[in-house]
Chains A and B, each alone.
Chain A
Amino acid sequence: MTTTTKPDAPSLEHELLPETISTRKIGRLERLVGPESYRVLRGLVTTPTSVAGLILIAIFTIVALAAPWIAPPARANNPYDIPRDGFSPDPRPPMSEWKRNQPPLPAWWEPVMGTEEWVHLMGTASGQYDIFYGVIWGTRTAYKTGLVITLAVLLIGLLVGSVSAFYGGLLDNILMRIVDVFLTLPFIMAALITAAVLTPRLGRTILPAVFALIAFGWMSYARLIRGDILTVRERDYILAARVIGVKDYKIMLKHILPNAIFPTLVYASAGIGEIVIIFAALSFLGVGTPVGYADWGQLLSFARNWITNLADYWYIVVFPGFALVFFVLGWNLLGDAFRDILDPKMRGKS
Chain B
Amino acid sequence: MTAYIIRRLLLLPVLLVGVTIIIFAMLQFLTPVERSALYVRDIPHTEGAIEGIIKRYGLDEPLPVQYWRWLVGRIDPVTGERVGGVLRGDLGWSRVGSQSVINLIKQRFPATLELALWAVGPIILIGLWLGVKAAVNHNKPFDQISRILAIFASSFPVFVFGLLVLMIFYANLRWFPPGRISDWANVVISSGEFRTYTHLITVDALLNGRFDIFLDALRHLILPILTLSYVNWATFLRVTRSSMLETLRQDYVTTARAKGVAERDVINKHARPNALIPVATLAGFQVVGLLGGVVITETVFTYPGVGSAAAAAAQQLDVVTVLGLALFNGFILIVANLIVDILYAVIDPRVRLA
Contact = CB atoms under 8 A, between A and B. Distances in A.
A273 B22 CA distance: 27
Interface in B185-239: none
Interface in B149-175: 151-152, 154-160, 163-164, 166-167, 170-172
B164 A196 contact: no
A193 B322 contact: yes
* Interface SS, A side: helix
Interface in A102-132: none
Interface string A319-341: 00110110011001100100000
Interface string A299-322: 010011001111110100110011
B19 interface: yes
Given A188-B295, A201-B29, 4 more contacts: A184-B18, A189-B310, A189-B326, A307-B163
B216 to A, nearest CB: 18
Nearest to A278: B157
Given A193-B323, A277-B157, A180 B172 contact: no
B319 interface: yes
Contacts of B14: 177, 180-181
Interface in A184-207: 184-186, 188-190, 192-201
Contact of A181 (B22, B152, B292): B22
B157 A325 contact: yes
Contact of B167 (A297, A304, A310): A310
Interface stretch (B65-73, B268-276, B327-335): B327-335
B240 interface: no
B58 interface: no
B151 A307 contact: no
Interface stretch (A1-9, A72-80, A280-288): A280-288
A284 B22 contact: no
B311 interface: yes
A178 interface: yes
B152 to A, nearest CB: 7
Contacts of A193: 23, 26, 310, 314, 319, 322-323, 326
A307 B319 contact: no
Contacts of B156: 325, 328
Given A184-B334, A193-B26, A287-B314, A317 B157 contact: no
A182 interface: yes
Given A184-B19, A332-B155, A286 B315 contact: yes
10 contacts: A185-B333, A193-B319, A196-B322, A280-B159, A307-B166, A318-B164, A321-B164, A324-B160, A329-B151, A329-B155
Nearest to B329: A189
A185 B158 CA distance: 19
Contacts of B346: none
Given A189-B295, A195-B314, A328 B29 contact: no
B315 A285 contact: yes
Contacts of B30: 197, 200
A328 B153 CA distance: 11
A321 to B, nearest CB: 4
A29 B159 CA distance: 43
Interface residues of B, number: 53
Minimum-distance CB pairs A-B, first 4: A181-B18, A310-B171, A329-B155, A286-B315
A269 interface: no
B84 interface: no
B36 interface: no
A329 B148 CA distance: 11
A196 B163 contact: no
A336 B151 contact: yes
Interface string B124-161: 00000000000000000000000010011011111110
Contact of A194 (B15, B26, B159, B170): B26
A73 B307 CA distance: 37
Contacts of B155: 273, 325, 328-329, 332
A190 B157 contact: no
A188 B296 contact: yes
Nearest to B29: A197
A321 B326 contact: no
B63 interface: no
B295 A300 contact: no
A185 B157 contact: no
B257 to A, nearest CB: 22
Interface in B244-265: none
